[in-house]
Amino acid sequence: MSSSALGIGVAVFVLGLCLGSFLNVVITRLPVMLMHHWRHEARTALELPIEHSSRFNLATPGSLCPRCEQPIAWHDNLPLIGWIKRRGRCANCQTTISPQYPLIELMGGLLALAVTLLHGLSISSLFIYAACMTLLALAVIDFRTYLLPDVLTLPLLWAGLLYQLVFQPFLLTNAVVGAMAGYLILWSFFWTFKLLTGKEGMGYGDFKLLAALGAWLGWTFLPLLLLLSAGLGAIVGIIAQASFPRLRGAPLPFGPFLAIAGWVCLLVGNDLMAVYLSYP
């Protein structure tokens, strides 16, 4: 590997770490922001007094320890380095800080490297990387809260259609059909399961997420996406329930497995599809 290629790789990885750090903010704060918004709407609809609270968004307040609420110094907030330097603990109260933070930062860097190596440095690669990072945020949010926010799934869907329009206009029809079919497949499964069992097997966010992936990949990838996500979900579910009896009967979010299948297909989908179609 040449020195210039190595330098580009390091720069891409570091930039990915920084974007992963921002993604942690989105993952942590967006569900809280949505809850505040829904609570405000509910109180307005019920004509109850509006609750006034301090400003809370992606920028305000700054990074704080979740326990002692002490501001985190800039040098302790450096992606990956700050967590390692403090050995995963708050500098003030020594509370353990979740390993989620360095893991998401590391994923941001690794995804940036993967997209660059597989798709090169281009505007289309930026689109693919943004889609991968959005899927990462959705996977973690769904795992933690059982939410797939519209504020992420719907822009992901429209971005997929825009990507096809700009970079692969000959596949735009395929993408539009993919978005419609992706939604309808899980919508049909949801209602069939509910009519047969009286239970809801998944949420509407899953429909929108598969629709978004259909927009990015086209309808031809939908069977492969469902096979990968359902297979991975089944394996993880069996292992989790066998290892942790308290999880038996607990619902398992489907969004993270759809997101992982989406990463795989966005990064190496054409090669994987060739293998899938060649299998007897």
Could you list the residue range(s) of the whole structural domain that residue 69 is in? 1-121
Domain boundary among 104, 121, 138: 121
- Provide the domain count of the chain: 2
What is the model's pLDDT at position 54?
A: 76
Q: Are residues 146 and 256 in the same domain?
A: yes
Highest mean pLDDT among 56-60, 198-202, 204-208: 204-208
High-pLDDT (> 90) share of the chain, %: 55
Same domain for 172 and 194: yes
**Residue 161 sits in the same domain as residue 95:** no
The rounded mean pLDDT for the chain is 88
The pLDDT of residue 74: 63
Lowest mean pLDDT across 38-42, 119-123, 163-167, 216-220: 38-42
pLDDT, mean of residues 59-64: 76
> What is the model's pLDDT at position 28?
92
The length of the chain in residues reads: 280
Q: Are residues 209 and 115 in the same domain?
A: no
Give per-residue pLDDT as tens, 219-268: 999 999 999 999 999 898 888 878 877 767 777 899 999 999 999 999 99
188 neighbors 180 (Cβ within 8 angstroms): no
Verify that 108 and 149 share a domain, yes or no.
no
Percent residues over pLDDT 70 in the chain: 95
- Domain edge (last residue) among 90, 121, 152: 121
Of the ranges 27-31, 51-55, 260-264, which one carries the lowest mean pLDDT score? 51-55
Do residue 220 and residue 86 come from a single domain? no
- The pLDDT-based confidence of 76 (bands split at 50, 70, 90) is low
Residue with tokens 């690794």: 110
Q: Where does the pLDDT of residue 104 fall: very low under 50, low under 70, confident under 90, or very high at 90 and above? A: very high
The reply to whether omega before 61 is within 30° of 0 (cis) is: yes
Domain check: are 180 and 129 in the same one? yes
**Rounded mean pLDDT of 127-151?**
96
Backbone angles phi, psi at 47, to 5 degrees: 55, 40
Q: Are residues 79 and 168 in the same domain?
A: no
Same domain for 180 and 263, yes or no, is: yes
Q: Measured between alpha carbons, how far is 95 from 97 in angstroms, rounded to an integer?
A: 6
> What would the DSSP string read from start to end of the chain?
--HHHHHHHHHHHHHHHHHHHHHHHHHHHHHHHHHHHHHHHHHHHTTPPPP-----SSSSS--B-TTT-PBPPGGGSSTTHHHHHTTTB-TTT-PBPPTHHHHHHHHHHHHHHHHHHHH-SSHHHHHHHHHHHHHHHHHHHHHHHS---HHHHHHHHHHHHHHHHHH-GGGHHHHHHHHHHHHHHHHHHHHHHHHHHSS--S-HHHHHHHHHHHHHH-GGGHHHHHHHHHHHHHHHHHHHHHH-GGGTT----SHHHHHHHHHHHHHHHHHHHHHHHH--
The pTM for the full model equals: 0.92
Residue type, 105: E
Instruction: Return the closest-CA partner of residue 63 out of 80, 53, 76.
Output: 76
* Mean pLDDT lowest among 158-162, 180-184, 193-197, 227-231: 193-197
114 and 129 share one domain = no
Asked which of 52, 86, 121 is the last residue of a domain, the reply is 121
Q: Are residues 92 and 165 in the same domain?
A: no
